[in-house]
Amino acid sequence: MKGVGGFYTVDDGAGILWECRLRGRFRREKQDVLPGDLVLFDLVDETAQKGVVEEILPRKNRLVRPTVANVDQSLVVMAADYPQPDLWLLDRLLLMILAEEIEPLLCWNKEDLAGIGELNEYQKPYEAAGVNQLVTCALSGLGVSQLGEKLAGRTTVLAGPSGVGKSSLLNQIEPDILLKTGEVSDKLGRGRHTTRHVEWIPLTQGGWVADTPGFSQLVMPETISSADLALYYSEFEPFLENCRFRSCIHEQEEDCGISQAVREGLVDEGRYQRYLVFLRELKEREKRY
């Protein structure tokens, strides 16, 4: 469920939590143990509920930041305002999630701070990209019950910058959790970190949610190359057949169906411009290696 200071909290499936250490070979082999890992452990002190991890079972997936394993879906939370949505970070997060074949769910929180038209403008490009979305307000409770239904029975990792209300939403869904929440810094325009480590939290209605520390920068996933970056942009798909060249990466090629769709307003220009920056980043990485 979590790991802090060399101690790992393990749920045994019957609701009993065990404080475990790792066998020395894990440290020697520098094998990491992630929240969400399925493990086998031996009992050391049954009365004190202490044990030792003997084996880490194969993972179906893993995320690097936030660092978790065996995830069904990722709930990406963005504030409608205060802090203003960081669309660069959002698009990087979506790439990271999709690269691990994890289902993204995009939540626009703090609905009360943005006009309806403004919020619709944020949502439209991601509707075209096929991303499931919902709108919430942790303060008023808007959309909280619908969010709870989306989380029920699944393992969900929360992602998004600090100050957008991830912990506040969880506190609304599970009032007994009482996670620390923080205000947005007026000077910096972004949230203060209130979550210090990744921890899986059981939900009353079934399922688990991993609350994660806020962060502001991500590297591109190693599994994505410049040649296949466009595959992660489903809004490009209807226009790929209009590209003159099969190997088109939709940058500067002649008769590119994607750039034509952008000019015609059929593909969001902001998403496309961020795509081009990510593409150049990947090409630079490939030159180095």
Contact 198, 67 (CB under 8 A): yes
* DSSP at 256: -
What are the two backbone dihedrals, phi and then psi, of residue 155, each rounded to the nearest 5 degrees? -95, 120
pTM, to two decimals: 0.85
pLDDT given at position 60: 92
- Collapsing DSSP to helix, strand or coil, 55 comes out as strand
* Rounded to 5°, angle at Cα 61 from 56 and 66: 95
pLDDT given at position 213: 65
> Taken in order 127, 249, 75, 183, is the CA torsion positive or negative?
negative
- Collapsing DSSP to helix, strand or coil, 45 comes out as strand
* Rounded to 5°, angle at Cα 239 from 236 and 245: 105
Mean pLDDT per 10-residue interval, the chain, length 289 residues: 91 92 84 91 96 94 83 95 93 93 96 88 97 96 96 93 89 77 42 60 90 66 94 97 96 96 98 98 94
Burial of 117 (0-12, 13-18, 19+ CB in 10 A): exposed
* DSSP at 264: T
Contact 217, 96 (CB under 8 A): no
Please state, in angstroms and rounded to a whole number, the distance separating the CA atoms of residues 284 and 286: 5
Alpha carbon 82 to chain centroid, angstroms: 20
Per-residue buried b or exposed e for 161-185, using 16+ beta carbons within 10 Å of the residue's own CB: bbbbbbbbbbbbbbeeeebebbebe
Q: How far is CA 227 from CA 130, 232, 240, in A?
A: 21, 11, 14
| Cis bond upstream, residue 58 (ω within 30) | no
Which DSSP string do the residues of 89-146 spell out, in sequence order? HHHHHHHHHHHTTPEEEEEEE-GGGS-HHHHHHHHHHHHHTT-EEEE-BTTTTBTHHH
Q: How far is CA 245 from CA 10, 122, 253, in A?
A: 52, 32, 8
> Taken in order 173, 175, 177, 180, is the CA torsion positive or negative?
positive
Helices (H), the chain: 24-28, 87-99, 116-128, 144-151, 166-173, 257-263, 269-288
Please state, in angstroms and rounded to a whole number, the distance separating the CA atoms of residues 167 and 8: 22
pLDDT given at position 185: 38
For the sheet with 50-56, list strands across it: 2-4, 7-11, 17-22, 50-56, 39-45
> Taken in order 91, 97, 99, 103, is the CA torsion positive or negative?
negative
